[in-house]
Chains A and B, each alone.
Chain A
Amino acid sequence: MFSFVNPFLLSGLALVSIPIIIYLLHRHQVKEMEWAAMQFLQEIIEEQQKRLRLEDLLLLVLRVLMFVFLVLALARVGFKKGSVTLLGDRGDALVVVDASYSMATKQGPRTRFDAARSKADAIIRELPKGHGVSLAKGSEQSETVLGGNLADHDLVRETVKEMQVTDFAGRPDKLVGYIREFTKKSPSVDQTVFLVSDFQEQDWGSPNDGLKSALTELCKKHTVVFVPVGDGSDANLFAADLTLLQGAVRVGQTAHFAGSVLNQGSEIAEDVPVELIVDGETIATRTLSVGPKQTAEVLFSHAITQLGQHRAVLKIGQDANPADNKTYLSFEAHDRLRVLAVVDQPPAEGIAKPTDFVELCLNPFRDGSEDPRALYNFVHIGMQELLAENLSEYELVLIADVNSVTATEAKHLEAYVQAGGGVLFFMGNNVSPTLYNDNLHRNGEGLFPWPLIDAPIKNDDKKQPLLLSIQQADHPVWRHLVSGKKNYMDTVRFYKTLGFKPSESKRAISLATVPATDSEAAAIAEFTLGTGKVIVVGSSADLSWNNFAACPTFVAFIQEALKRLRIPRLEDKQFRVGASVTEQVTFEQSQSTGELINPQSESRSVSVLKEGGRYVMHLGVLGFAGVHTLRESGSADGREFSVNVNPHESRIVSMQTSELSKIYGPMGVVVDGSSDLSVAFANIGAGSGLSNLCLLLAVLFWISENLLAHRIARRQG
Chain B
Amino acid sequence: MSKYLAKYLNPKAISAIGGFVVNPKGLVEGNMAGAHKSPFHGFSVEFAGHREYLPGDDPKHIDWRAYYKRDKYLLKQYEADTNLVCQLFVDVSESMRYGSSELTKFEYANYLAVSLAYLVTKARDKIGIGLFDDRVVQYLPPSNSLGSTYTISAMLEDFTPSKKSEIDKTLLDFAERIGRRQLVILISDCLLDIEQLKYGMARLQYDRHEIVLLHVMDPYELDFPLDGHVKFKGLEGLEELKLQPKQIRKAYLEKVNQHIQKLRSACEASRAEYVLVNTGRPIEEMLFGYLTSRLTHLTRGGRS
Contact = CB atoms under 8 A, between A and B. Distances in A.
B191 A32 contact: no
Interface string A23-39: 00011011111111111
A43 interface: yes
A47 B255 CA distance: 12
B16 interface: no
A30 to B, nearest CB: 5
18 contacts: A27-B229, A29-B228, A31-B229, A32-B231, A33-B231, A33-B233, A34-B97, A34-B235, A36-B95, A36-B189, A36-B218, A36-B221, A37-B95, A38-B232, A40-B252, A716-B246, A717-B250, A717-B253
A492 B218 CA distance: 130
A41 interface: yes
Nearest to B258: A40
Interface in B158-199: 189, 191
Contact of B256 (A32, A33, A40, A715): A40
SS of B interface (majority) = mixed
Interface string A478-508: 0000000000000000000000000000000
Interface of B: 95-98, 105, 189, 191, 218, 221, 226, 228-236, 238, 241-244, 246-253, 255-256, 259
A712 interface: yes
Contact of A716 (B95, B221, B231, B247): B247
Nearest to A34: B233
A318 interface: no
Given A38-B238, A52-B248, A30 B191 contact: no
Contacts, number: 98
B228 A37 contact: no
Contacts of B252: 40-41, 44
Given A44-B255, A45-B241, A33 B250 contact: no
Contact of B230 (A32, A40, A45, A48): A32
A26 B232 contact: no
SS of A interface (majority) = helix
A716 B250 contact: yes
A42 interface: yes
Interface residues of A, number: 28
Contact of A36 (B98, B229, B242, B253): B98
A68 B293 CA distance: 63
Contact of B248 (A31, A33, A44): A44
Contact of B247 (A33, A38, A52): A52
Given A31-B231, A34-B235, A40 B259 contact: yes
A32 B233 contact: yes
Given A41-B252, A43-B255, A44-B252, A35 B246 contact: no
A266 to B, nearest CB: 81
Given A37-B191, A38-B238, A40-B256, A30 B229 contact: yes
A30 B96 CA distance: 24
B256 A37 contact: yes
Nearest to A35: B232
A715 B252 CA distance: 11
Nearest to A712: B247
Contacts of B191: 36-37, 39
A194 B249 CA distance: 62
A395 B246 CA distance: 109
A717 B249 contact: yes
